[in-house]
Amino acid sequence: MRRAVLLLPLLFLHGCSCQQQPPMTESPAAPEGAADADDVPPRHSAPTPPPTAAAPTALSAVAADALDEPSLVHRYLSALAQGDVATADAQWTGGGPGGHPDDAALRALPDFRGLRIKTGAPIARDTAQPSRLREVPVQIRVSTDTRTLRFEGWYRLQPRADGSGWEIHGASIQPVLN
């Protein structure tokens, strides 16, 4: 009898196992304007068919032949490593990073000997469709004459005014201490 009293609360907490529930799956993020949780259709409704290849896709915020976001970040960092500040600055909105760029520690390195860049998938930082503000996570390893340094952070990109490609709008790059 004592065991039954101890097990009874567990049954109420866990629920009855005689009704089979479908396994929980992670669903993709709902687009803006999607139905609220209260508007979820009943379980017996037909599932939504997967999109087909003929389904229209959102137009890009930049020209179709433009560099993708991670490639632009690679171009910028490679130009810095080669000492080509003019090409690097041309990747920024307004032709330069401004008075005190948020990647100043990286830009101040005088003698790049080696450069390794790892970029993550671009993240939309606005709700526009298509997104007009993207953030590219980045990990950078720089070798100089005297040491190897690591940096982490992100570069924020926006479409150029003429839509021809992406340009760097801002950055947050910090040295990583070992």
What pTM does this model have? 0.64
What's the pLDDT at 53?
42
Residue 115 pLDDT > 80, yes or no?
A: yes
Those residues whose C-beta lies under 8 Å from the C-beta of residue 170, and which sit 6 or more positions away, are: 102, 155, 156
Q: Which fold has domain 69-176?
A: Nuclear Transport Factor 2; Chain: A, (3.10.450)
Q: Rounded mean pLDDT of the chain?
A: 75
What are the beta bridge partners of residue 172?
154
Encoding tokens for residue 28?
């993709």
- Mean pLDDT, residues 111-132 taken together: 91
Q: Which of residues 154 and 95 earns the better pLDDT score?
A: 154
Residue 75 pLDDT > 90, yes or no?
A: yes
- Mean pLDDT, residues 57-84 taken together: 86
Residue with tokens 């976001």: 69
Backbone angles phi, psi at 49, to 5 degrees: -70, 150
Distance in angstroms (rounded) separating the CA atoms of residues 109 and 146: 11
Would you say the C-alpha torsion 139, 118, 162, 62 has a positive or negative sign? negative
Distance in angstroms (rounded) separating the CA atoms of residues 72 and 83: 17
When mean pLDDT is compared across 6-15, 76-85, 135-144, 154-163, the lowest value belongs to: 6-15
| C-alpha distances out from residue 77 to 3, 27, 32, 57, Å | 67, 36, 34, 31
Give per-residue burial for 58-81: e unless 16+ CB within 10 Å, then b.
Answer: eeebbeeebebbbebbbebbebbb
Express each pLDDT in 150-176 by its tens digit.
999 999 999 999 999 999 999 999 999
What's the pLDDT at 59?
54
What's the pLDDT at 102?
86
Written as one letter, the residue type at 90 is A
Express each pLDDT in 10-69 by its tens digit.
444 444 444 443 333 333 343 444 444 444 444 444 444 444 443 334 457 888 888 899
